[in-house]
Chains A and B, each alone.
Chain A
Amino acid sequence: GENVEQHPSTLSVQEGDSAVIKCTYSDSASNYFPWYKQELGKGPQLIIDIRSNVGEKKDQRIAVTLNKTAKHFSLHITETQPEDSAVYFCAASDTGGFKTIFGAGTRLFVKA
């Protein structure tokens, strides 16, 4: 079955710097890769996703890249702000949600 590995487990950056979180997956059939942000005491919130037919997608300060050949995808947050501090989860699925496998999570700290 699918396995998703996520690195790093913890990331600390200075406000204004960039943050990069990387994930790898094992199942070549996976074709949908969402990213979730989970703040303390809340459920995960979908922040951006990428489908297998594109290599990059950007939404304001957030961008995701996908390399299907290498089976890895990344989340890039630019100009980080303290409110970006949260746990971020990557995920992969083959039919868009029917069997979504989550990474272990990255705890991001943005220091003011």
Chain B
Amino acid sequence: SAVISQKPSRDICQRGTSLTIQCQVDSQVTMMFWYRQQPGQSLTLIATANQGSEATYESGFVIDKFPISRPNLTFSTLTVSNMSPEDSSIYLCSADRLAGTYNEQFFGPGTRLTVL
């Protein structure tokens, strides 16, 4: 399985500021994803990070609020912009690796964000 690391692991931020979360995979992967997980809730896909092109956002998420970069096949960043307390959540990076004819999806440890 792929090993995924995220930085920072947690942060406390003031409203109106921005935070960039980094995601590093230990090997090249086809797809990378960013999820949000509210406390006690399931995972909500924010966007798919495409290498060399703009990210694909899910309904309810926009690029201005959550700009994403993916400069190569092992690294991606998610920025949470102009933060408000409603952005307090766990942000998870995920990646796919081909296993036979299917893609297995793996997750990083998450970034716990608190906005005051």
* A interface residues (Cβ-Cβ under 8 A, vs B): 32, 34, 36, 41-46, 49, 51, 89, 95-98, 100, 102-105
22 CB contacts below 8 A, A to B, read A32-B102, A34-B104, A34-B105, A41-B112, A42-B109, A43-B4, A44-B43, A44-B92, A46-B1, A46-B104, A46-B105, A46-B106, A49-B102, A51-B102, A95-B103, A96-B96, A96-B103, A97-B31, A97-B96, A97-B104, A97-B105, A98-B103
A44 interface neighbour in B45, B101, B103, B107, Cβ under 8 Å = B107
User: Which 5 pairs from chain A and chain B are nearest by CB?
Assistant: A96-B102, A97-B103, A43-B107, A96-B103, A97-B96
What's the nearest-Cβ distance from chain A to residue B3, in Å? Answer: 11
* Chain A, Cβ-Cβ closest to B101: A96
Residues from chain B with a CB closer than 8 A to the CB of A102 are 42-43
What's the nearest-Cβ distance from chain A to residue B114, in Å? Answer: 14
What's the nearest-Cβ distance from chain B to residue A92, in Å? Answer: 12
Where chain B touches its partner, the secondary structure class is strand
* Chain B, Cβ-Cβ closest to A32: B102
Contact with A along B86-116 (1 / 0, CB 8 A): 0000001000100001111111111010000
Counting chain B residues whose Cβ lies within 8 A of the other chain, the interface size class is: 20 to 34
B102 and A103 within 8 A (CB):
no
B107 and A45 within 8 A (CB):
yes
State in angstroms the CA–CA spacing of A36 and B31 once bound together. Answer: 18
Residues from chain A with a CB closer than 8 A to the CB of B92 are 43-44
State in angstroms the CA–CA spacing of A97 and B92 once bound together. Answer: 15
Residues from chain B with a CB closer than 8 A to the CB of A89 are 42-43
State in angstroms the CA–CA spacing of A102 and B105 once bound together. Answer: 12
What's the nearest-Cβ distance from chain B to residue A93, in Å? Answer: 8
State in angstroms the CA–CA spacing of A49 and B109 once bound together. Answer: 20
A43 and B108 within 8 A (CB):
yes
* Chain A, Cβ-Cβ closest to B109: A43
State in angstroms the CA–CA spacing of A89 and B102 once bound together. Answer: 19
Residues from chain B with a CB closer than 8 A to the CB of A49 are 102, 104
Residues from chain B with a CB closer than 8 A to the CB of A103 are 42
* Chain A, Cβ-Cβ closest to B10: A41
